[in-house]
Amino acid sequence: MTYTRETDHGTPPALATGKSVTLTIDGQSVTLPEGTSIMRAASLLGGSIPRLCATDSVESFGSCRLCLVEVEGRNGYPASCTTPVAEGMVVRTQTDRLKQLRRGVMELYISDHPLDCLTCGANGDCELQEQAGAVGLRDVRYGYDGATNMGQAKDQSNPYFDFDPSKCIVCSRCVRACEEVQGTFALTIENKGFDSKVAPSQGEDFLGSECVSCGACVQACPTASLIEKKVVESGTPDRAVVTTCAYCGVGCTFRAEMRGEELVRMVPWKDGKANRGHSCVKGRFAWGYAQHQDRILNPMIRASVSEPWREVSWDEAIAHTASEFRRIQAKYGTRSIGGITSSRCTNEETFLVQKLIRQGFGNNNVDTCARVCHSPTGYGLSQTFGTSAGTQDFDSVMQADVILVIGANPTDGHPVFASRMKKRLRPNNGKPGAKLIVIDPRRTDLVQSPHVAAEHHLPLRPGTNVAMLTALAHVVVTEKLYDETFIRERCDWDEFADWAEFVSQPARSPEAIEPLTGVKAEDVRAAARLYATGGNGAIYYGLGVTEHSQGSSTVMAIANLAMATGNVGREGVGVNPLRGQNNVQGACDMGSFPHEFSGYRHVSDTATRTLFERAWGVTLDSEPGLRIPNMLDAATDGSFKGLFVQGEDILQSDPNTHHVAAGLAAMECVVVQDLFLNETANYAHIFLPGSTFLEKDGTFTNAERRIQRVRKVMAPLNGYADWEIVQLVANAMGLDWTYDHPSQIMDEIAALTPTFAGVHYDRLEAEGSLQWPANDAAPDGTPTMHIGGFVRGKGKFVVTDYVPTDEKTGPRFPLLLTTGRILSHYNVGAQTRRTANTAWHPEDRLEIHPSDADNRGLKDGDWVTLRSRAGETTLRALITERVAPGVVYTTFHHPETQANVITTDFSDWATNCPEYKVTAVQVMASNGPSDWQQDYADQARQSRRIAPLEAAE
């Protein structure tokens, strides 16, 4: 396959009006939607009108004057990018006069552009070069040494791309991409006329500017002015394979552009329905970890964690794994071992791990990292709506009129979706922007950023979500803003009446809870009125909702609010959890929870169990298994002795590190399958090297229930894809699996899971992606759920009483710590810390309000001790008014900080999802890392030793 860029039609598709017009272009008749540009029309006919400032990711601009055409009956030479098609129009795209005009324009461009084409990074992939060819430029009458623009210094501050102003043709494509696609407005054209220059922020370099390094500008640049450093280093790619990003739950699809087995660049795929051709700094650029020197490529074993690792053959490692698990089960019982599936791995791999446990281990001790993020979503939405997933696709946000964001920071956590959301929040083509309500203890970027401002920001105290949502419901009910028709049709009216009576009690009014939440009652009332009456109301939420003692209650409170206002079951509305990991939705769907099979069917359900027993030829356990925190408890009690962990770092990511460490230390065999010697591996006895998403086939399911293909672009450095490794372990335990390709695993999933019945690789190949449920009832998948009725039948109003967390502030721990993420890093940072993304966030910082800092005599950048009832750590302070007085905030991307030493064992009442978002702490000045941090670092160093290979005799 030879490499070509994706087809660029020059201007975006017209806004749908339903009307179409017929015209003639170069003698060919064509019928197209009204509002289409002549440029796009010509391109759709297979032609290509010369152009420089137009690209179909941004609105037309009409500045380069290269795309001129002749239209019969019109004077002059209109620009085809800004001229819409009209009924009966007759267009000519190539005439002697047009050729002359275009050459004239091109001469001016080239007179001020370096002619180092052969040694230029964009050689062979440069639109200026291509257009010079297309217009037949043969001579430049003005000479080749333009007065002002050549010889300027490059800005190489960004770790992933260079900016060379000498090669800029001031087409503004980068500036418009930054505004329209990304919504950051970091770039501008400064000065006028011949002095016009692209500039990031106010005279800063790219790294120091507001730029978020999403790369939309680089993709839009027609020359080498903005170019990936990797392309400069390696040359242009020669093939492209569409695959899915392995970072967050947005699930962006990319063209992995390759030369041989070398990945040259990742370019977001325009046809990708999750990302629509956009990306963030992680997906586009931060994939260097795949080849990082820290990757472990050989299996290793050791008898105890105090010994160094010993490299062994795959055969030995697999045989040892199987014999250890069998030995432990023989000694301590069938239920003494278990495993953790990975939300970073594919659906197929996850399915196999839980199959290994249920079929091979003979128990249900399987859990996944959704335990620590969105398990309350599963519980809450199933109780109220009947299904464990978001109700909409991402496109739906474009139809929303009021957007309510609660406990989510999408510009950092889900940046590509945030760009879509911001696009809807800005006025566009005369349509006013959607209104925004943000409920968050911090003043997140969404609250106030260029051309976006929240109508209401309710900065509640961490831990008061249920009180706040009930107060919003109180206003909706007492002011009779609810949608009675919807409720009578779709829900149980008596249940609604019970709930309405509960929320209407004066004790639940905004005024009554003001002392709890710290938010002015009037603001709460105004926000409730806006959500209930502002048109399509869409709720987006994140871990700030789920990671609480009342995570499940909060999810149900959100669902109640959406049902009461009739905001479910059509485009533009809904309840949308922004899922964390790339495949956390999939991991849940695949039966990674200890109480249910794939498709969310309880293990006690005899009919479902029989289905699996027939397919797998064994008797399955009808009792639910252990959840992760329960496994650790059982381990410290001495009844749980062996754990298989695929692609998850529980020691760093799970709460109360001391508790996790004690649990792991009490086990006799911990098997870690991962790319790196992660923190959990410090307590492991067997290490099985994992493979990256670039090295395997499979599927991921994103936050919109969209199942998308992951495609292998290079051979696994470690020798096997992760699904193959699980199969080796299974067969060593006598299970006789015979999968040759992940498509066969998906066929098995489809056969056993009603919601996936129509999901097969040939369908995914044909459709690009499918949103489950995809089966006979919904052959093309389900973009919007609960249309016409809820999955469970009637929507259920669940009374959610506010029960304050037992994690309370007091004289010794007067501040509330909440945790979150930053754009440039991903969760525990195992991948992103091994990329140049560290340029933006080299360490975790503690955000603290100036008044709290003053009280403690702290200056910005000071080392501080952060102490909770669970433990203490040190990090540097960042003084900011983003957090309210009494609240501090940090990220958890760096193992040196180990923010989870601080977090406690408290968890959601229904699902044991940890309460990461509320910890009572004290902050004080410090001299540097704590004893614990030093001990931890020593232990980690000791534990990571790998013995040198003995010479063969």
Partner 1 sequence: MSDDTHVMSTTDRLIYMAHQIARNMATLGEARAVTALAAHLTSFWDPRMKAQIIAIAQAEPDRLSPTVAAAVAQIAQGRSAGKVDATQFNTVDEAGHCDAG
Contacts with partner 1 by CB under 8 A lie at: 335, 364-365, 370, 375, 377-379, 382-383, 386-388, 502, 549-550, 552-553, 588, 593-596, 599-602, 604-605, 607-608, 611, 623-627, 630, 633-634, 636-637, 639, 656, 658-659, 754-755, 773, 775, 777, 791-792, 799, 801, 803, 806, 810, 812-813, 868-870, 904-905, 909-912
Q: Which of 794, 770, 766, 767 is nearest to 782 (CA)?
A: 770
Q: Which of 274, 283, 41 is nearest to 160 (CA)?
A: 283
Q: In terms of CB distance, is 456 or 867 closer to partner 1?
A: 867
DSSP reduced 3-state for 610: helix
718 Cβ partners below 8 Å, 6+ apart? 295, 296, 297, 298, 689, 690, 691
Q: In terms of CB distance, is 167 or 627 closer to partner 1?
A: 627
Q: In terms of CB distance, is 464 or 549 closer to partner 1?
A: 549
Instruction: Report d(CA 349, CA 691) in Å as an integer.
Output: 11
Minimum Å distance from CB 492 to partner 1?
A: 13
Q: In terms of CB distance, is 422 or 706 closer to partner 1?
A: 706
Minimum Å distance from CB 95 to partner 1?
A: 60
Minimum Å distance from CB 588 to partner 1?
A: 5
Q: In terms of CB distance, is 606 or 934 closer to partner 1?
A: 606
Minimum Å distance from CB 447 to partner 1?
A: 31
Tokens at residue 207, please? 């790294």
Q: In terms of CB distance, is 51 or 601 closer to partner 1?
A: 601
Q: In terms of CB distance, is 146 or 758 closer to partner 1?
A: 758
Side chain identity at 45, as an amino acid letter?
L
950 Cβ partners below 8 Å, 6+ apart? none
Q: Which of 819, 791, 824, 784 is nearest to 903 (CA)?
A: 819
Instruction: Report d(CA 847, CA 600) in Å as an integer.
Output: 39
Minimum Å distance from CB 699 to partner 1?
A: 19
Side chain identity at 417, as an amino acid letter?
F
Minimum Å distance from CB 568 to partner 1?
A: 15
Helices (H), 686-770: 722-732, 742-752, 761-767
Q: In terms of CB distance, is 873 or 943 closer to partner 1?
A: 873
Minimum Å distance from CB 703 to partner 1?
A: 14
Q: How many angstroms from the chain centroid is the CA of residue 852?
A: 33
417 Cβ partners below 8 Å, 6+ apart? 250, 394, 397, 410, 578, 703
Residue 151: CB atoms within 10 Å: 9
Crossing angle of helices 521-533 and 465-478, in 10° steps, is: 60
Residue 936, burial from CB neighbour count under 10 angstroms (0-12, 13-18, 19+): buried
Minimum Å distance from CB 801 to partner 1?
A: 5
Q: In terms of CB distance, is 93 or 464 closer to partner 1?
A: 464
Minimum Å distance from CB 51 to partner 1?
A: 48
Q: In terms of CB distance, is 12 or 754 closer to partner 1?
A: 754
Q: In terms of CB distance, is 149 or 364 closer to partner 1?
A: 364
Minimum Å distance from CB 773 to partner 1?
A: 5
Minimum Å distance from CB 266 to partner 1?
A: 32
3-state SS track over 8-44: CCCCCCCCCCCCEEEEEECCEEEEEECCCEHHHHHHH
Instruction: Report d(CA 923, CA 809) in Å as an integer.
Output: 13
| Cross-strand partners of 239 | 258
38 Cβ partners below 8 Å, 6+ apart? 25, 49, 69, 71, 78, 80, 81, 83, 84, 85, 89, 91
Q: In terms of CB distance, is 32 or 563 closer to partner 1?
A: 563
Minimum Å distance from CB 389 to partner 1?
A: 9
Crossing angle of helices 465-478 and 493-504, in 10° steps, is: 110
